[in-house]
Structure 1
Amino acid sequence: MEIYYWKVNPSNFGDELNPWLWKKILPEIFSSSEVGDNSGKLFVGIGTLINHKLPKERDKIIFGAGVGYGDLPTIDDSYSIYFVRGPLSADALKLSKDKFITDPAILINSCLEDTKKKIVNKHKISFSPHYSSYKWGDWDEVCRKVGIKCISPFQKVDKVILDICSSELVITDSMHGAIFADSLRIPWIPIHPNYGHILDFKWRDWSQSMCLEYAPHYVDPVWRGGCHKPFKQQIKNLIKRGLHSSGVWREGWEPPEMPRSKPGVVEKAGAQLLRLANNEQRFLSRDNIFEDKLNMCLEKVEQFRREFAPR
């Protein structure tokens, strides 16, 4: 059985949670290899993965994934749906209401014993940026200037969990940053930098599954300006910006990266994060709802184990 998930370089902790979590919770089913047997069933767990890209010729086990990217697939006999992420995913796929629970990343709550022993420093405020936000903007610098811990999405899953466990508050534009915080019972605040990659649908899908409202605070984006790219790419960006500003541009050309944010923009973004931390409502699902959702997911794990564990 193959663990199906989005793979990218550098890695993204929300996606890499798949092999990390399923091997811990279901070690008797998933081998020690990275994805397992690539000739059998697909195990589709954490992520916005239910779309037309799922191989039609493979049998697919849907275990908490959601919809949101790409075209909806035709649900046929090749699908075995244990549950989907939220009510919006269930509606989109024309499933009954009992087919959604929540994002299965909630199960990290059952894997915390070793992590809690490692907590040393407590971060008053942490920021967990979306993968693309972190690639495009120097959020390490934003956070450094105002004394906020920046949690890189490129880190290993264990380190992200430890950093969030060590925080009193998490500000995030990453849905899995919020899910990790909520699952670790750390208050969080959602933000929405105006980059264009935040998918409100999946946020609302998960939020509604936990009886929460998705109400992000809009903050200014910051830009690295391509300074992290190879020298040739930086020169290419400069030429593109010149052509674009002079009107010599053709439809279909890939736009240049935004220029690097000036110090004042970086300082303003940091001040916005601090203001939110000090003045705005903090989010955390209610304990009874959290426990119900966690137990429902654990029941699905046991059902899956009974059906697929070697005898």
Structure 2
Amino acid sequence: MELFYYRDPHLNFGDDLNTYMWKRVLPQEVQDAPNLLLIGIGSILSDEWLARYADTQQTVIVLGTGTSYDRPPRRTEGWHFLAVRGPLTAELIGRPDAAVTDGAILLADTPAARVVDQPGDILFMVHHRSIRNSPWEEIAAAAGMRFVSPQQPVETVLEAFSKAKLVVTEAMHGAIVADTMRIPWVPVIVSPAVDEFKWRDWCLSMGVPYKPTRIPAGHLLDTSHYAAMASVLRDAGLSGHDMLDGKLRRHELEAYFGQRFSPEIKRRLLRPVEPTLFHRVANRGRRMLNLPIHRARAARALAATAHGEVFLSRDAVLQARLDRMREAVGQAHRLAVQYAY
């Protein structure tokens, strides 16, 4: 079996779950199938990532994958969409029958899903692209939390989760894993570029709202960078993380993608400001710009999340989605036996 997922050279917890989980939950016949391509966990159901497989002779299986950051793949004839992340992805690709939830829910069928009897830690995880200049470990400690980087090995992160009583997370898979392990979670936003679509897609699949709390950056350079990013989105008429409220029809989602992930917007978000003299000087003096006022402001906002609204899907919903995903694994097994040998 060939497993396709995004491989970040600096590691990323959500993507790297693929290497940990599939070998523990897929039947061996699926893993050994020589002509099988599994599209795994991640926001990779897009033309940018999967156009290369349009004419493949492999049996292509989509299992718990989501769409984001780019339009869905245009040529998928013969692919088997056994499960996608949620109803928004399913609507966008014209396969409402495939709406299940994120594939990471299968972590429930691994030993990692166990939580210690008396967990006591409050964890904080940012999106991997928010690891810039802000000293998040120091800020989390000041807020009474334990910082867990998404750029740590999967086993290290899962060990931290096993001791957690609450997870505050900007990374969506932090929430997905917490929910699967029955740990309450709180969604937050540090960077304006955090994608609303994928969060709402998964939240809808689990019957929970997406109500993120904004956390300011903890460093002057990051504050400046995110302000520039927010300006790019405002100038484009993208008003924030509530644009998808009530937008469930395919043409509405296609319009959103055409606007939110246009090549121009993506380019400007990656480089929202030109390298002015200020930024060139600032890049040489990050320590000087690591100001206490920014760290304290971020720590106060972060600490407040532990006393606000927390989220967790209902046990019955989790069980129903897990059962559907197990059925999809069973379908993958049958396809592997039927076509891949």
Q: Same fold (TM over 0.5)?
A: yes
Q: Hey, what does 2:43 align to over in structure 1?
A: 48
- Residue 218 of structure 1 deviates from its aligned partner by 1.1
Distance in 2 (alpha carbons) for counterparts of 1:290 and 1:274: 28
- Residue 76 of structure 1 deviates from its aligned partner by 3.2
Q: Hey, what does 1:272 align to over in structure 2?
A: 301
Distance in 2 (alpha carbons) for counterparts of 1:67 and 1:49: 6
- Alpha-carbon RMSD across the aligned residues, in angstroms, is 2.8
- Residue 155 of structure 1 deviates from its aligned partner by 1.5
| Aligned positions, number | 280
1:157 corresponds, among 146, 149, 154, to: 154
Equivalent AA in structure 2 for residue 266 of structure 1: R
1:118-176, CA deviations, whole angstroms, 9 ceiling, x for partnerless residues?
A: x4984331102111112443211111223311111111212211211211111011100
5 Å matches for 1:170-249? 170-193=167-190, 195-223=191-219, 225=221, 240-242=275-277
- Residue 19 of structure 1 deviates from its aligned partner by 1.7
Q: Larger relative CO (CA 8 A, sep 6+): 1 or 2?
A: 2
**Structure 2 unmatched runs, 5+:** 223-273
- Residue 71 of structure 1 deviates from its aligned partner by 2.5
Distance in 2 (alpha carbons) for counterparts of 1:180 and 1:77: 32
Q: Hey, what does 1:5 align to over in structure 2?
A: 5
1:147 corresponds, among 144, 148, 156, to: 144
Q: 1:213 is paired with a residue of what secondary structure?
A: coil
Equivalent AA in structure 2 for residue 264 of structure 1: I
1:137 corresponds, among 113, 134, 138, to: 134
Q: 1:125 is paired with a residue of what secondary structure?
A: strand
Equivalent AA in structure 1 for residue 171 of structure 2: S
**Structure 1 unmatched runs, 5+:** 227-238, 247-254
Q: Hey, what does 2:253 align to over in structure 1?
A: none
Q: 1:190 is paired with a residue of what secondary structure?
A: strand
CA 1:64 to 1:116, structure 2 compared with 1: closer, same or farther past 3 Å? Answer: closer
1:97-119, CA deviations, whole angstroms, 9 ceiling, x for partnerless residues?
A: 3211000101111113x6648x4
Equivalent AA in structure 2 for residue 4 of structure 1: F
- Residue 244 of structure 1 deviates from its aligned partner by 6.2
Higher helix share: 2
- Residue 281 of structure 1 deviates from its aligned partner by 1.0
User: Bigger shift: 73-82 or 102-111?
Assistant: 73-82
Distance in 2 (alpha carbons) for counterparts of 1:25 and 1:258: 48
Q: Please say if residues 48 and 67 of structure 1, whose CA atoms lie closer than 8 Å, have aligned partners that are also in contact.
A: yes
Distance in 1 (alpha carbons) for counterparts of 2:17 and 2:320: 22
Query: What is the TM-score with the length of structure 1 in the denominator?
Result: 0.81
1:62-118, CA deviations, whole angstroms, 9 ceiling, x for partnerless residues?
A: 1111111222222432421111111100111111x3211000101111113x6648x
Q: Hey, what does 1:231 align to over in structure 2?
A: none
Distance in 1 (alpha carbons) for counterparts of 2:117 and 2:315: 25
Residue identity (%): 31
Distance in 2 (alpha carbons) for counterparts of 1:103 and 1:128: 19
Q: Please say if residues 50 and 72 of structure 1, whose CA atoms lie closer than 8 Å, have aligned partners that are also in contact.
A: yes
